């Protein structure tokens, strides 16, 4: 990792991460680094993200094997729009403190904290209902 790296972004990889990439990312986090990991929707099976999902779980975050459906939108606007949940309220957290607009999450899956976070790691939900987004304190 570059010395001046503030956050490592893994944005929907186009191929599976190999062990040395996972090791490099893990070492970066162990040294106090931060990461933003964006997984593809569960319905997109074009890339095997099993290693990345396992990596996130090792760091206290588990990705659901599902797709979130906004039942209110689905009820009034039809099934196609139900797969684009809209969030307009956020749990108080420094990450969401200035959020004052609606956010659309197309084809999103649930993200939760693991039942018991690894020693020395604090995992905090920052989404609307404590399940939408998970961040590291």
Write down the pLDDT at residue 86. Answer: 80
Q: How far is CA 117 from the centre of its chain?
A: 16
Contacts of 50 (CB under 8 A, 6+ apart): 16
Q: What is the pTM of this model?
A: 0.71
Q: Which positions of the chain have pLDDT values less than 70? A: 42-44, 71-82, 125-137
- Longest CA–CA span in the chain (Å) reads 50
How far apart are the C-alpha atoms of 105 and 89, rounded to whole Å? 13
Contacts of 117 (CB under 8 A, 6+ apart): 60, 123
Q: Are strands 35-38 and 8-11 parallel, antiparallel or unpaired?
A: parallel
């Amino acid at each position: 990792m570059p010395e001046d790296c503030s956050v490592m972004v893994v944005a929907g990889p186009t191929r599976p991460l190999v062990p040395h990439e996972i090791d490099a990312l893990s070492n970066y986090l162990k040294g106090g680094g931060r990461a933003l990991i964006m997984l593809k929707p569960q319905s997109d099976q074009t890339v095997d993200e099993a290693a990345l999902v396992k990596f996130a779980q090792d760091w206290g975050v588990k990705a659901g094997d599902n797709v979130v459906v906004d039942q209110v939108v689905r009820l009034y606007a039809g099934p196609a729009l139900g797969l684009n949940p809209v969030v307009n309220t956020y749990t108080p957290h420094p990450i969401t403190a200035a959020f004052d607009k609606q956010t659309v999450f197309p084809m999103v899956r649930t993200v939760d904290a693991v039942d018991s976070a690894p020693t020395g790691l604090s995992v905090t939900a920052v989404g609307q209902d404590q399940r939408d987004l998970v961040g590291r304190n």
